[in-house]
Amino acid sequence: MSDLCDLVGDMTNGVDAVLLFGPSGSYYERAAGADLPVVVVAQENTVDAEHFVDLPLEFADVSQRIRFGLEGALENELLEEGSTALCAAKTFAEDIDSVVRVRAGEFARSGVYELFADSRAEAHIIRDVLEVAIELGKKGQKGKPVGALFVVGDAGKVMNKSRPLSYNPFEKSHVHVGDPIVNVMLKEFSRLDGAFIISDSGKIVSAYRYLEPSAEGVDIPKGLGARHMAGGAITRDTNAVSIVLSESDGLVRAFSGGQLVLELDPEDY
Ligand SMILES: Nc1ncnc2c1ncn2[C@@H]1O[C@H](COP(=O)(O)OP(=O)(O)OP(=O)(O)O)[C@@H](O)[C@H]1O
Ligand SMILES: [Mn+2]
């Protein structure tokens, strides 16, 4: 037993900070009593934490959630590069049941925090588009799997690096993501080819765009096709981010700065 205690105790030795993912109020109170900086990572700061990182969606994958929290804490200078953090999160239970020890900056930044915090479009626009893609991935179009490509932000430049495949149904309209009617429209039009272009403020600028970015220097995992290549490459050529739903493997991916920064399975949401 004492071996076991030593083993578990080693987890907390030399820790510089504690990251709590979605803690209850009482859990937070107890952790705040410890003699270490505490950062709360959650969708809402219900515990009134002094140090807080805003989680834009409840990543089903714990490692992705932790990555987001660490990147956010580093970015907001709540954590120093190279310091050791103890991350307490929920994996199976309703309350915190898992502790992960990590060194901040040990692995390359995925850019998932920047996707939301530093993109030109507002974080809630990115989140809304992700939600449409996740929902579309779950249900498909009339039961059939469907693919879609959303390019969000820096719309003027994206329009310059693309051409129309068909007439633009959003030509004279002033509709925005997040509006329930728009979500129905986006799903309906996703049957057709090309990309949706969305402005920084969430206005749907166009559907049916064929993207023509230069693919030079784009580092996209092998096996992904033209939709993903174009979606990734446009984020290197412009300050847009892309959200891509794959028709073939059903996953939702996000690209920023020409890199894959997020991969989600809609079935987990
Ligand atoms: N440059 C592009 N700009 C906009 N849309 C594109 C572009 N290239 C391909 N697409 C769209 O992606 C669709 C699927 O192409 P492809 O199968 O090569 O992509 P993929 O990356 O394998 O995506 P999926 O996983 O959904 O099959 C095309 O039918 C087209 O609608
Ligand atoms: Mn394909």
Domain boundary among 90, 109, 128: 109
Give dist(CA 140, CA 216) in Å, integer. Answer: 32
Can you list the alpha helix ranges (DSSP code H) found in the chain?
Answer: 2-12, 25-33, 62-75, 112-117, 123-139, 155-160, 180-189, 226-237
Collapsing DSSP to helix, strand or coil, 18 comes out as strand
CA dihedral 172, 173, 177, 178 (to 10 degrees): 180
**pTM of the model as a whole:** 0.89
Q: Residue 184: which residues within 8 A CB-CB, separation 6 or more?
A: none
State the closest ligand 1 atom to the C-alpha of 212, by its place in the atom list counted from 1.
1
Can you list the alpha helix ranges (DSSP code H) found in 76-225?
Answer: 112-117, 123-139, 155-160, 180-189
Q: Are residues 82 and 125 in the same domain?
A: no
Q: Are residues 227 and 248 in the same domain?
A: yes
How many other β-carbons are positioned within 10 Å of the β-carbon of residue 52?
A: 18
Say which amino acid occupies 72: G
Q: Are residues 246 and 120 in the same domain?
A: yes
Confidence (pLDDT) at 1? 62
What lines the ligand 1 site, CB under 6 Å? 147, 149, 193-195, 210-211, 224-228, 230, 246-248
Domain boundary among 79, 109, 139: 109
Ligand nearest to the CA of 230: 1
How many other β-carbons are positioned within 10 Å of the β-carbon of residue 20?
A: 25
Residue 116 tokens, joined? 């939301």
Q: Are residues 102 and 119 in the same domain?
A: no
Q: How far is CA 98 from the centre of its chain?
A: 22
Residue 22, domain CATH: 3.40.1380.20
Distance between Cα 193 and ligand 2 center (Å): 12
Instruction: Name the residue with tokens 């272009």.
Output: 197
CA dihedral 97, 100, 105, 111 (to 10 degrees): -40
Total count of domains within the chain: 2
pLDDT under 70: residue ranges of the chain: 1
Largest CA distance in the chain: 71
Q: Are residues 203 and 87 in the same domain?
A: no
Distance between Cα 117 and ligand 2 center (Å): 30
Give dist(CA 245, CA 252) in Å, integer. Answer: 4
Dihedrals φ, ψ of 179, to 5°? -70, 130
Distance between Cα 266 and ligand 2 center (Å): 18
Q: Are residues 49 and 11 in the same domain?
A: yes
Confidence (pLDDT) at 109? 76
Give dist(CA 128, CA 198) in Å, integer. Answer: 12
Residue 142, domain CATH: 3.40.1700.10
Q: Are residues 30 and 54 in the same domain?
A: yes
**Edge-to-edge strands, sheet with 241-245:** 162-164, 204-211, 195-198, 148-152, 241-245, 252-256, 259-264
Q: What is the ipTM of this complex?
A: 0.99
Residue 63, domain extent: 2-109
Q: Are residues 103 and 145 in the same domain?
A: no
Distance between Cα 225 and ligand 2 center (Å): 5
Give dist(CA 12, CA 44) in Å, integer. Answer: 27
Identify which of 173, 164, 162, 169 has the alpha carbon closest to the alpha carbon of residue 188. 169
Q: Are residues 92 and 145 in the same domain?
A: no
Ligand nearest to the CA of 147: 1
Q: Are residues 91 and 160 in the same domain?
A: no
Q: Are residues 73 and 197 in the same domain?
A: no
Q: Are residues 105 and 128 in the same domain?
A: no
Confidence (pLDDT) at 105? 78
Domain boundary among 109, 137, 166: 109
